A = this chain, B = another copy of it.
Amino acid sequence: MQLSRSYIVDAALEILDTYGFADMTMRRVATQLGVAPGALYWHISNKQELVAAIAEAIIEPIGVRLATTPLSPDELCTSLREFLLHHRDGAEVVAAAMSQPQSAVRLKIFEAVTSSISEYFDTQILSPSDIEAAATGLTHLTVGAAALHQAGLQFAEATGEEFDADNEWQSQNAVRLLLAGLRMKELESQNGK
């Protein structure tokens, strides 16, 4: 059976879900595929690229969800959060991939959030820089809070303590505050006309 990029991504994702990000090494992916470590480098140029690919796979469901149902910015962020939490260390992986410049993941999330904002706010009235700021703000917020949440979950699991899940609401609350700010700007500009 021939090795390929998508087999590699699948194997890596499986290791991620089972053992976590720290164990998602090139060598373990290779072992899982029954192949020498060097073999991976014929299909993928380096680990960064693999991480980026995994991150895209993690957020891919938001694309298919958005294709059928239109989501408000609020709902979109909740959805994104959900998909991040759906994989072990999912938020951490996406955060790592996002802060690589020219990152495809960031662009995709950014575009999804921006288009959602455009449908629920008046683009003619709002300044583009406010929309941009809102989109990046919402993204960082959601991913950052999710990463923290997952770290807390794993810590609780490891130590056997029970876990405050109140940052579930915190994230959504912060999203709503930011969107409320955007709505206010919209109203201000409308009246200022």
Chain A residues proximal to chain B, CB less than 8 Å: 92, 95, 98-102, 106, 129-130, 132-134, 136-137, 139-141, 143-145, 147-148, 151-152, 155-156, 167, 169-171, 173-185
Contact = CB atoms under 8 A, between A and B. Distances in A.
Contacts of A151: 99-101
A179 to B, nearest CB: 7
A95 B95 contact: yes
B92 A129 contact: no
A51 to B, nearest CB: 13
Contact of A182 (B140, B175, B177, B185): B177
Nearest to A132: B170
Contacts of A130: 173, 177
A147 B99 contact: yes
User: In the complex this chain forms, how many copies of it are found?
Assistant: 2
Nearest to A172: B133
Given A129-B173, A177-B182, A178-B178, A145 B152 contact: no
10 contacts: A99-B147, A101-B155, A130-B173, A133-B170, A133-B171, A139-B144, A140-B144, A177-B181, A179-B181, A180-B184
A137 B177 contact: yes
Nearest to A180: B181
Given A143-B144, A148-B98, A169-B129, A137 B181 contact: no
> Which of A145, A174, A175 has the most CB atoms of chain B within a 10 A radius of its CB?
A174
Contact of A185 (B98, B106, B180): B180
A180 B143 CA distance: 22
Contacts of A102: 155
Contacts of A147: 99
